[in-house]
Amino acid sequence: MIGVATRLGFVTVALTIACGCGGTQQGPFPRPQAGSASTPLPGDSVSRGASRPLARSLTSQPLLYVASDYPDSVDIFPLTGPNQKQIGSITNGIRGPWALSVDHNNSLYVANTANETVTVYPYGSSTASMTYSRGVHHPMYALADSAGHVFVSGVESGDHHRGHVVEFNAGSSVPIANALLGSEVDGIALDAQGNLYAAYRHKATNNASIAEFGSGLSNKRNLGMTIDQPQGLLVDNAGNIVVVESAADAIDVFPPGATTPSLRLVFSTAHGANLAQLAMQDSETTLWVSSEGGAVYSMPYPLTPSTVPTEYEEIAGYGNGIAVTH
């Protein structure tokens, strides 16, 4: 483990965000596989490591999940402080994992870019209980709400490469709604009222922003902020929008109704942080952020100008997705 003093330099910049942001897609993804099934996938016969479910004595503790692409896996750590020993992993059904999330039952959702599926794992299990693939194209983020719906963001197949969000009834592989948005839809999040927020990019115009949807992906409303290649996205209980600007290695906080951030935290490392996904528990006292280099940082929440992050974990492979149980 490399200490935070050598891995991370940290600068806080308050108030406005620079304009002229980029909307290019992130680095190359694994090539999608055709013919993915809408049922739980069989074991991972080509993975370099086997799934390691949690020991029975560990199946009630808070957990941190970190996605890795070398090998394709989700690594599991106890959520008891920085630099803990890995206690499990999931490889069954995992192919090019991007973003992770957990629902109110602490089931884990994994967006698999390489086989164009979203796989669901009950707490403590390394075998998928459900796989969503119908209508799912290049999935990037997935999450479930408390009303029995599952949302998946990604990029439509074909020549146009439109960004989209697909909605399912939980446990059903048949999509019930679909919304097109920009050229790529990345982070998605829910607010306390159940409205869906989606961070999207426009490749042609090099712009990026966030849109809000009502139930059934209806009543789309563009929120008007300009963001440089957005990734992870959260909405806290006060309605503040917290979003990663991956191109700037920054975390922005937008108060309700604001189009410029009230706070901006900029990360800088010798090797480049490449910040990716955000995670937070229901208590909203700690914010975690992953980096594509495999490091995970934590920091007290709400963020302030004096916030200093801590390197929480680091995996050996390329990473992106993180999630924490409630």
pLDDT in tens, 124-173: 999 999 999 999 999 999 999 999 999 999 998 776 679 999 999 999 99
What residue numbers bound the domain in which 135 lies?
A: 4-324
Q: Does 292 score more than 80 pLDDT?
A: yes
- Kindly state the DSSP code that residue 32 receives in the 8-state scheme: P
State the total domains in the chain.
Answer: 1
Is the pTM above the cut of 0.75?
Answer: yes
Q: Does 205 score more than 90 pLDDT?
A: no
Q: Give the pLDDT confidence score for residue 9 in this predicted structure.
A: 39
CATH of the domain at 31: 2.120.10.30
pLDDT in tens, 246-273: 888 999 999 999 999 999 999 876 445 7
Task: List CB contacts of 218: < 8 A, sequence separation 6 or more.
Answer: none
Q: Give the pLDDT confidence score for residue 69 in this predicted structure.
A: 87
Residue 296 DSSP SS3: strand
pLDDT in tens, 49-64: 456 655 544 557 899 9
Q: Are 48 and 75 in contact (CB under 8 A)?
A: no
| Greatest Cα pair distance in the chain | 53
| Distance (Å, whole) CA 56 – CA 170 | 27
Could you tell me the pLDDT band of residue 279, with boundaries at 50, 70 and 90?
very high
Phi, psi of 254 (to 5 degrees): -110, 115
Q: Are 314 and 82 in contact (CB under 8 A)?
A: no
Which residue, among 221, 218, 244, has the nearest Cα to 309 in the 3D structure?
244
pLDDT in tens, 160-202: 679 999 999 999 999 999 999 999 999 999 999 999 999 999 8
pLDDT in tens, 76-111: 999 999 999 999 999 999 999 999 999 999 999 999
- Kindly state the DSSP code that residue 56 receives in the 8-state scheme: G
Is the CA virtual torsion 138, 207, 251, 256 positive or negative? negative
Q: Are 317 and 75 in contact (CB under 8 A)?
A: no
- Kindly state the DSSP code that residue 262 receives in the 8-state scheme: S
Q: Give the pLDDT confidence score for residue 32 in this predicted structure.
A: 28
Q: Give the pLDDT confidence score for residue 317 in this predicted structure.
A: 83
Q: What percent of the chain has pLDDT over 70?
A: 79
| Section 18-34 average pLDDT | 31
The rounded mean pLDDT for the chain is 83
Tokens coding 191: 């607010």
CA dist 206 → 160, 191, 201, 209, 244 (Å): 16, 27, 7, 11, 17
Q: Give the pLDDT confidence score for residue 51 in this predicted structure.
A: 61
Q: Are 292 and 274 in contact (CB under 8 A)?
A: yes
